Amino acid sequence: MSIDEAQRLIKQGKLSPVELAQAHLRRINALDGQLHAYLKLTEESALAEAAAAEAEIASTGPRGPLHGIPVAIKDQYDFAGIPALVRIPPPETSEDAGAVAKLRDAGAVVLGKLMMSGLPGKHPEPRNPWDTKRTSGGSSSGSGSAIASGLCMGSLGEDTAGSIRNPASCCAIVGLKPTYGRVSRRGLAPLGWSLDHSGPITRTVEDAALVLTAIAGQDPRDHTTSPAPVPDYTSALGQDIKGLVIGVPQHYLDILRPRLNDEIAAGFDKMLRDMEALGAKVEKVTIPSMEYASIATGVLYCCEYMAGRNLGLQAHVGIASDTRRARVYFGALTGAAEYLQAQRVRRRLKREMDETFRRVDVLALPGHLQPAGLIGEMTPIESLVTQLSPDYNGPFNLSGSPAMTLPSGFTNAGLPIAFQLVGRAFDEQTVLRIGHAYQQSAGWHTHHPEV
């Protein structure tokens, strides 16, 4: 069931927020021992929030489409009284992060905190519901597992170099990285301050639009947020896409083609043909700086991750994960000249993309190079090398562009494949419109894993 469907039933009095929360808690208790999506379940407070939502809806009607809807939050966000475990060291007290506070203001019922890749200490890796031997994608891995398996209806993820979009690719769900500055990052444990993006992970495009509408907007306590007005992101859904132009950065795709899985490549080509059948135009474009943009993203990520902790190398021994410790070491050994050069790449990329968006409405790329991998398949150093290598996600953290990944099929082995749409700054509406048109035509969102 989608958020949109659940809210219609709640409005009609056919679905109780308390019963909806209880059903999700039962499913979590039945399945999460296998999937490991949740880090901390806040069952008591969730039921209290659901009861309060039910009483308010009965008295005055719903506040909006998220009122009474069960959601869960990536550990990277602070809760009141539950700081992010990923912080090193974690603070003794905390308040709700900006995006979490907006979800609560919208009446959402928060079920708990979700696992993420790279937490300090020994924590089980979240499992992919499509194949529990495989990863659900990082670092919002708990979000991917929980949404795909029906352990919550919406989730807050975070994307520094693909961490909202990777789980979407691996789990056949929707991940939306909004424009940099569209959603508050106050109370979000920083990984790379110029790359971090807060955003929704959901089952459908409509649900992503509903959550984004609730969490977007300026936060006076986060100077990076934009004062640009927040539209109703659902308003363009259902419009046709005739005449809209989809740009394909073919030069970059050709560079990555030797590393791209053949079934993902075939799925991407089929998706483009489907878009043309819906009336869109497909045009090849060239964005030269994309060739090394992911590498620049990796340099910024590692340097900012190290600088943001300011603890020294030895402070991370024994408390950070192996992969995050490797990132700290890489950042500590990268000089100011490389950091500034990466910023020059960012400016060049943004200029080239601005020029490209004068001719096209969105860009389209595959969502990932390979289907979800086996858990434990890569060593920490191999994982870091992969993160520093060219891919389809990193360039758009560098540019700050809105980017959404959604499913486009399955491999012969039954693993999800996906593609990505990228838009102009603050034009999430066009990305959502095109993604929704494809989703409704293709129907991949109706497929669910058997767990």
Active site (annotated) includes residue 139? yes
Q: Flag whether pLDDT at 311 surpasses 60.
A: no
- The per-residue b/e assignment along 202-213, b for 16 or more CB within 10 angstroms, e otherwise, is bbbbbbbbbbbb
Kindly name the residue from 117, 163, 289, 383 that is annotated as catalytic. Answer: 163
Q: What's residue 326's pLDDT?
A: 76
**pLDDT 10s digits, 232-287:** 999 999 999 999 999 999 999 999 999 999 999 999 999 999 999 999 999 999 99
Please tell me the least confidently modeled range out of 74-78, 297-301, 380-384: 380-384
Q: What is the pLDDT of residue 333?
A: 82
Q: Please give the residue range of the domain that contains residue 35.
A: 3-122+134-215
Catalytic: 281?
no
Mean pLDDT of the chain: 94
pLDDT reading at 437 higher than 90: yes
pLDDT at 383: 76
Looking at the fold, whether 201 and 162 belong to one and the same domain comes out as yes
Whether 74 is catalytic is yes
Model confidence pLDDT, tens digit, residues 203-229? 999 999 999 999 999 999 999 999 999
Total domains in the chain come to 2
Q: Are residues 205 and 307 both part of a single domain? A: no
Residues 156 and 29 grouped into a single domain: yes
Section 57-74 average pLDDT: 98
Same domain, yes or no: 268 and 200: no
pLDDT digit string, tens, across residues 4-25: 999 999 999 999 999 999 999 9
Residue 372 has a pLDDT of 98
Cα angle at 6 between 143 and 114, to 5 degrees?
A: 15
What's the confidence (pLDDT) of residue 306? 84
CATH code for the domain of 185: 3.90.1300.10
Active-site residue identified among 2, 16, 74, 169: 74
Residue 318: is its pLDDT beyond 70? no
Per residue in 142-171, pLDDT (tens digit) is 999 999 999 999 999 999 999 999 999 999
Residues 405, 300 share a domain: yes
User: For 350-401, how does the pLDDT look when each residue is reduced to its tens digit (9 = 90+)?
Assistant: 999 999 999 999 999 999 999 999 998 887 777 777 777 899 999 999 999 9
- 415 and 347 inside one domain: yes
Same domain, 291 and 430: yes
Active site residue: 16, 117, 136, 139, which one? 139
Contact indicator for 69, 109 with CB cutoff of 8 Å:
yes
